[in-house]
Structure 1
Amino acid sequence: MLRIITQPSEARTELRRICDRMHDDQIVHKEATVREVLQTVKRQGDKALLDYTLEFDRQTLRADELRISGTELDAAYRQVSNELINAIRLARKQIEDFHRQRIPKSWVQFGDDDVVLGKRYTPVDRAGIYVPGGQAAYPSTVLMNAIPAKVAAVPHIVMVTPPGPDKTVSPAVLVAAQEAGIQEIYRIGGAQAVAALAYGTETVPKVDVITGPGNVYVTLAKKLVYGTVGIDSLAGPSEVLIIADETANPVHVAADMLAQAEHDQMAASILLTTDSGLALKVLAEVEQQLVDHPRRLLTEKAIAHYGLIVVVDSLKTAADLSNEFAPEHLELEVGDPWALLEQVRHAGAIFMGSSTPEAVGDYLAGPNHTLPTSGAARYASALGVETFLKYSSLIQYSPVALQKVSDAVQLLAQAEGLPSHAASVRLRTQQYLDGET
């Protein structure tokens, strides 16, 4: 069950173990299976998609059933409540408003001697969005991945999601997709869906960027197709780290830990607190809230293997441990979260204060919930508009400007043993000088 640790050295060891949970031998061995799936889909196209959907999802499909029909899309609106549709629309607006503030701007700078430098941003031609499915439904994942692509003005967005019982896809997911502007949706999942997006099949178009979370097979597939296509990140199991002091409510802290644990049996829920009394209360509260939990078995497994409470001597120590772990989600449940924020260097998303549960960020605060995991927040950021954009450098030199740098460029080219590089400058500047004489 959930453990309480008081020794910093033991805490560091446990945090390192939790951070590295995606790198155990069993997961590495799955890579061979994923490689085979990728290569088979690349060779056989739709046939492989249908075979793997039968093998892994236990659903028998025809090639003409891979794409969700317009009739199914229309019917989805009749299968969900108006209240849910309105909630999806509210989330869409909040997410879109946030990401519109993040659009990089192309720019041009005019310097001396008519030198022009700049950056020109353009979207990818095609984006592929993976949405987990099967037995569960994640309309929030649809919105978080599709809306930044739309804001980036990607002209062609394709979505894939595994089929559930009777070949169906969650109506809430289909509504969210349409609200986000996606009409091209395929009922495929797993590594085979990533392969279809990366290589293309007779039915599924090849894309330039693949985003969205999935299970370990999806993550490994994204890792292996990177280079053929771009990806957002290698998202591991979800995680939350909560820093709390004596002002925190143990009921709320326990609920937030369980909210993370109920995602997946490999999800991590960690509390760092300066208050030993709070630690004991949270421990008891977690056990109490698990009693009638609808996802108790899965949630208990996550808490038992990757749940942790650490009692620390100061908030500074808590911040230091958090920075070493670099959590996907960081909650600052302390009296003055803004003061503590100054000590935070690495976190995917930071939730400030007792009235800001991580669930708000999951659904509709606006910032993206597709975040770096497993310590990647040390160098990576959330999915955003930039994920679907690339830039071209703009460079223009006048004859005068080229003449001024001619000697330096030629010297550098000669130092690297590249005579034609030097000649490409020398011939131009000589022509310019000849024209002047």
Structure 2
Amino acid sequence: MKKYINPKKSDWLKILARPTQSFEAVEPVVNEVFKAVKASGDSALATYTEKYDGVILSDFEVTQKEIEEGSSKISEDLKEAIQVAKSNIEKFHAAQKTDRVEVETMPGVECWQEKRPIQKVGLYIPGGTAPLFSTILMLAIPAKLAGCDEIVLCSPPDKQAELNPAVLYTAQLCGVTRIFKVGGIQAIASMTFGTETLPKVYKIFGPGNQYVTVAKQWATKFGVAIDMPAGPSELLVVADDSANAAFVASDLLSQAEHGVDSQVVLVSTSKTLIKNVEEEIIRQVDDLPRKQIAQRAIENSRLIYVEDDETALQIINEYGPEHYIVCVENEDFYIQNTVNAGSIFIGNYTPESAGDYASGTNHTLPTNGYAKQYSGVNLDSFMKSMTFQKISKEGIQNIGRSVELMAEAEGLQAHKNAVTLRLKELKTSPLERGKSAKADRGV
């Protein structure tokens, strides 16, 4: 890991740069695949699945028999662990439900807001070096709670043209309606346009590598929404002498093992802690099955020493980490003043792994600094807010003149006329004529 001691503020952006390719380098490949899938459908999917995943497939949809066979390979202990995670995630996301908001803004003018589910959603579940069945819990559970009609899942097949058994078991457990053995750019393109086999969806969710991230953003050019730009995983830990160096090192390595393009950062006000964490990383990494991946990710990572909490906080908010661990004596200062982070983990006994799997919060989070403007996935991500208004005769008389004046000022005469006609009709109605006659007589 590269070490920096009291870096100048002018160097922060360079120091905190993510190890990602530019979109310009990735976009030509994404554009090529999108054009092919749009034009050739399943045929293009077969071509790119063979090219990128090394398998030949003619049927992409997972059958019920495959789901049952895959589920039978899962140990009872793992099934129980998944059930525990499912329960916690359901509890946390169900608590996010909100009631209808209703207001009478003025007499006779009723306005309200209701939330309705997005009917068709697509879930992308990374495979590659680590089949992330936990991501299914994070996406399918809130989709089901929201009431989405169609929940489509795409994940890349292994060399045997199969999906990981845990992926199949978790998908069925959480209510996924259709499962497909399609990965990478071609999966995002297929959910964008639809093919002979795969349905088009309205919104695509899920993390992925840089190609998947750009593909999701490319999908928005064709009217499909996405959850957020979620690329290679990242973690920032802020720690001082109150932190356990072994714990901090384990957290940094837990993110580093995601992929060679992952990044981990330690910001500390203690040189002693930084030294101890370095030693622990060297000690712990040797025991990891994914040692080579973790070591390459560590090369992209940073150890930053600063003299005070205020400077540390400025660096953290500038970075905007996806995952953020606060392990300091003065934790309230950081918790209250951090404004840019995806998900926050507090204290020596709150590993980021807990949020990745089973605490209940969602692990699909904004990366690459997008925590400055995006939220992580939540129940509302699978819903849209719709507003309603109902105006009575009394209401249109109360609000009408204001609308007429504003429409006229903008030069939109038809807008004004839509109100004027109604007001005139009310003035000439028998009821209004009776009221007017009474007024004239002073009644």
User: TM class, shorter-chain normalised?
Assistant: over 0.9
Is it true that 1:49 corresponds to 2:45 in the alignment?
yes
Is residue 387 of structure 1 aligned with residue 381 of structure 2?
Answer: yes
1:274 to 269, 275, 290: 269
Q: Which residue of structure 2 lines up, in the alignment, with residue 180 of structure 1?
A: 174
> 2:294 aligns to what?
299
Letter paired with 1:357: P
Q: Does 1:253 align with 2:252?
A: no
Q: In the comparison of the two structures, how many residue pairs are matched?
A: 430
Which one has the largest radius of gyration? 2
Shift of 1:292: 3.4
Instruction: Indicate how the Cα distance of structure 1 residues 287 and 15 shifts in structure 2: closer, same or farther if over 3 A, else same.
Output: farther
Q: Which residue of 2 aligns with 1:110?
A: 104
Quote the offset at 1:82 in angstroms.
0.5
**Which runs of structure 2 are paired with 1:94-173 in the superposition (5 Å)?**
94-173=88-167
Listed as ranges, the matches of 1:317-328 within 5 Å are 317-328=311-322
Mark the runs of 5 or more structure 1 residues left unpaired by the alignment: none
* 8 Å Cα contact 2:239-2:327 kept in structure 1: yes
Q: CA deviation at 1:337?
A: 2.1
**Residue in 2 that maps onto 1:374:** 368
| 2:441 aligned residue | none
Residues 78, 270 of structure 1: alpha-carbon distance in 2 compared, 3 angstrom cutoff: same
Cα-to-partner distance string for 1:284-326 (whole Å, 9 max, x where unaligned): 1111222233212221111112x11111111222112111111
Determine whether 1:213 maps to 2:207.
yes
Aligned pairs for 1:403-422 (under 5 A) are 403-422=397-416
Kindly indicate whether residue 286 of structure 2 is the aligned counterpart of residue 287 of structure 1.
Answer: no
Q: Relative to structure 1, is the Cα distance of residues 7 and 134 closer, same or farther in structure 2, using a 3 angstrom cutoff?
A: closer
Aligned to 2:33: 37
Tell me the distance in 2 between the aligned counterparts of 1:189 and 1:378. Answer: 29
CA distance in structure 2 between the partners assigned to 1:178 and 1:15 by the alignment? 44
Give 1:60's aligned residue: 56
How many angstroms apart in 2 are the aligned matches of 1:428 and 1:96? 49
Contact 1:327/1:375 (8 A) holds in 2 = yes
User: Percent identity over the alignment?
Assistant: 36
Alignment partners' CA distance in 2, 1:219 and 1:98 = 27
Partner of 1:91: 85
Give deviations 1:269-292, integer Å, cap 9, x for gaps.
Answer: 111111111111111111122223
Alpha-carbon separation, structure 2, partners of 1:337 and 1:76: 44
Q: Can you give the 5+ residue segments of structure 2 that lack an aligned partner in the other structure?
A: 434-443
**Is residue 2:236 matched to residue 1:238?**
no
The TM-score normalised by the length of structure 1 is: 0.95
Quick one: which amino acid aligns to residue 53 of structure 2?
D
- Name the CA distance, whole Å, in 2 between partners of 1:421 and 1:222: 38
Residues 16 and 425 of structure 1, relative CA distance in 2, 3 Å threshold: farther
CA contact (8 A) 1:207 1:229 kept: yes
Secondary structure of the 2:160 match is helix
Equivalent of 2:323, from 321, 329, 335? 329
1:4 aligns with 2:22: no
Letter paired with 2:153: M
Deviation at 1:150, TM superposition (A): 0.7
State the match for 1:13 in structure 2: 11
**Distance change >3 Å, CA 20–CA 134, structure 1 → 2:** closer
Change (3 A) 1:82 1:184: same
RMSD: 1.5
AA aligned opposite 2:213: T
**What's the CA shift for 1:416?**
1.6
Question: Which whole-Å deviations, capped at 9, do the CAs of 1:242-295 have from their partners, x for residues lacking one?
Answer: 111111111111111111111111111111111111111111111122223321
Q: Tell me the TM-score normalised to structure 2 length.
A: 0.94
Counterpart-to-counterpart distance in 2, 1:135 and 1:272: 29
* Contact 1:248-1:354 within 8 A present in 2 as well: yes
